[in-house]
Amino acid sequence: AYGAWLLRDTVLPEISERAMSCFQDWLGYFASAPLAQNNWNLFWIVNHTARKALGWDYEQDTIGAAWEMIDGCHRGDGWMTDGPEQFFDDYNWWVFGVHEMFWMQMDGEANPERCALVGDRIRNRLEIYPYFFGQDGSVSEYGRSLSYKFARLACPILAYKLGLWPHSTGMLKRLVRKQLAFYDNNGA
């Protein structure tokens, strides 16, 4: 859904009416299940928000209910837990941070109060982000998902783009360079 929003002016106009209808039905299908009690609500938020931004059918009530659950995951200082289980892991960077910023890009202007709340959470969370990395670019490996570990740099990079990165540009460049080099030097 977010990818479609990013390609709204380039690729989407080239897609046939039938293919577009199938795509919209597919997105609708995957955002119609009951809401979960975890980070998956961000997937519903992004799906419905992208469809809203594209002028397609969406459910504002689903977006609102999903945000209520996500807000309940906040545990202070910007930190999110994955529902009632109290897991703290790389979801804070990839799922929470990135998907919250997807929403900010697509619909943040329509809800400046929520945008400020989410932006503050992300900025607060990223205050300690550099401390997870060693001087050599290594990082404390924690969490449940390998793909989310690979995506841990997406949050600070997108935060930088949106003006939410609370550190210097040099700090971000160093973290990205060192992290990628660390994995490259270790056979990634």
Position 145 scores a pLDDT of 65
pLDDT in tens, the chain (188 residues): 999 999 999 999 999 999 999 999 999 998 887 888 888 899 999 999 999 999 999 999 999 999 999 999 888 898 888 876 666 666 777 788 899 999 999 999 999 999 999 999 999 999 999 998 999 999 877 666 667 777 889 999 999 999 999 999 999 999 999 999 998 898 87
Greatest alpha-carbon span in the chain: 53
Cβ–Cβ under 8 Å, residues 156 and 175: yes
Those residues with Cβ within 8 angstroms of residue 135's Cβ, 6 or more apart along the chain or in another chain: 178
How far apart (Å, rounded) are the C-alpha atoms in residues 131 and 188? Answer: 22
Cβ–Cβ under 8 Å, residues 118 and 176: no
Cβ–Cβ under 8 Å, residues 143 and 182: no
Residue 130 tokens, joined: 């550099």
Position 81 scores a pLDDT of 87
